[in-house]
Amino acid sequence: MGSSLLKGCEIMNIQSKINKLLMALRLKGIYLRINTEQFPSDDMDRMITKYIVYETHPRQGQVFYSKLNILEYLVKLYKEVGGADG
């Protein structure tokens, strides 16, 4: 029980960081959106979540299958536009 609770807290922490980075990027003039799609895995055992991060149209966005990867992408983008001194 403890490990599942910890995992839930970690996911919430990642989501809050994603939200903060999206807000910081908006202040820099970059308005990103995140679409979510779900579909069954090949063996139909579980659902897979696909995240699309985009500015103007989902077809032109970056595709991720993990919120952690989205967070890493947003941090990199924020640094590229001069956020956090750099």
Q: Select the more confidently predicted residue: 5 or 49.
A: 49
- Per-residue pLDDT tens over the stretch 6-48: 555 666 699 999 999 999 999 999 999 999 999 999 988 999 9
CA–CA distances in Å: residue 67 to residues 12, 50, 75: 10, 10, 12
CA distance 27 to 23: 7
Mean pLDDT of 63-85: 92
Mean pLDDT of 55-62: 93
- HEC profile for 28-45? CCCCCEEEEEEEECCCCC
- pTM assigned to the model: 0.80
Q: What number of CA atoms fall less than 13 Å from residue 7's CA on the CB side? A: 4
In the chain, where are the structural domains located?
2-85
| Per-residue pLDDT at 34 | 98
